[in-house]
Amino acid sequence: MSAHHAGLNRKRALVTGAANGLGKSLTLHLSKIGYEVVAVDFDEPGLFRLHHDSLDTIIGIPADLGDRKQLNENTMRILARGPFDIAFMVAGISATGRFEKIPDVTHTMVLTVNTMAPLVLANRLVAESAMKEGSSLVFVSSLSHVLGYPGAASYAASKDAVAIYAKSVRKPFRKRGVRVCCAFPGAIRTDHAERHAPDGSNVKWRMPPSLMAEKLVSAALKGRAVYYPGLVAKLAWLAGRTFPRWVTRKMRRLIFEKLNGEVF
C-alpha cells in the first residue's frame, strides 16, 4: 500500500494543549496506536518537535486559545483537517492563590482557555460535520468538579462549566452521531501541576501522564459518558459526594493554606 493510501485510511484525532503534559502524552499515544493527530497548542517549538519525531503522523497547528480572534481564525484550519474519529479538549491553564490578588485579566484568560475555547471548538466541530459518524468528543474536566479547589477558584469554575456543558450536549450531539465523554482526572505528574501545587507536595498520588492518556483513550473508545480515571479519582468522587463540607475543609488545609503566594 502506498504512503498516500495509508494516510487516507489512517484514523484521525484532534488534541488541544498537545505540546506538553497530558496533551502531549495523548498525542504520542494516539500516534503510536495508528492515528494521524492534529495537535493544537500555542507552543510552536513543542509542536515542531512532535511533528519531527513522529514521521509526519502528527500535524501541528499553532494557536493561542486564550485569544478569541486566534481561536476563530484557527478553528477553520482545524475543521479543514477533519473529519475526526476522536477529539480531546485538553488545553488548560490555572491561577492559584488568593482570588482577589490575581488580576481580573488572568481570571478571564483561565475561563477563555479552559471553557470558552473547548465550547466554541466543539460546537463548530459538530455543526460543520467535522466529527465522523460514531466518533468520540472528550472533554477533560477535573476532580475539582466534586471536591472544590480552594486557592484556584477560576480554574474550578472553568472546569465545572465544561462538565455541565458536556452533560447538556450529550444527547443532542449523540443525535448527530457524536458520543460525548467527560473525564474527571485527579492530579497528574506534570510540570503544570507541580507549578501550581504547594511546596513539598507529595507526588506519589499523581498519575503519570502516559498512563492517564491510555486510560482516557480506552474510556472514550468504549463509549464512556462520564469517567473518573483510577482508584484515587473514584474514591475522591465518592468522598466529595458523601461528605462535601468535610472535603472542602480538607482541600483548604491541604492546598490553600500551604500556597506560597500567587502563581499565574
Architecture of the domain delimited by 3-258: 3-Layer(aba) Sandwich (3.40)
* Single pTM value for the model: 0.89
Region 168-182: mean pLDDT is 97
- Burial tier of 181 (Cβ tally within 10 Å: 0-12, 13-18, 19+): buried
Q: For residue 127, what pLDDT is reported? A: 96
SS3 120: helix
Q: For residue 4, what pLDDT is reported? A: 37
**Domain residue ranges in the chain:** 3-258
71 pLDDT above the threshold of 70: yes
DSSP H helices, 54-179, are 68-80, 104-111, 117-127, 144-147, 153-175
How confident is residue 217, by pLDDT bands cut at 50, 70 and 90?
very high
Region 157-166: mean pLDDT is 96
Quick: pLDDT tens for 13-51. Answer: 999 999 999 999 999 999 999 999 999 999 999 998 888
91-100, 124-133, 255-264: which range is least confident on average?
255-264
